[in-house]
Structure 1
């Protein structure tokens, strides 16, 4: 039985994220071919790039069931009076 090389993956090619991009900056109108240079220009200008940030958890307010129940009782009593 052949011994498998543990350093190799079963995938046909390793995962590779390229830095190459062809984009015109919305900030300064210049064309960029590198994501790193585009982001560097954004940071230097104090611009915040959106779309890559992690969403902040949304905190739901605690429901005051007692206040709701009391209000429903008040409205019901007012309506039937």
Structure 2
């Protein structure tokens, strides 16, 4: 799972199932290390777009937790799943 190259102002979101901790790809499938080109990071132009994506996704998938990273690969925010709240 390779971290994407981001511009300085961009952010990326990683998703996982809150019950298992298993990482999900951008299509909400389980990440499998042996699948070539399986994308797990969603990239956004700014943090507001990332949070809008999370809010919209949380409405449909209440068992997903999210981690927002900045371009320096630093965790900006961890957002718990609605189910786990």
TM-score when normalising by structure 1: 0.19
TM-score when normalising by structure 2: 0.19
* Greater RCO structure (CA 8 Å; 6+ sep): 2
Which structure dedicates a bigger proportion of its chain to helix?
1
Larger Cα Rg: Structure 1 or Structure 2? 1
Which structure dedicates a bigger proportion of its chain to strand?
2
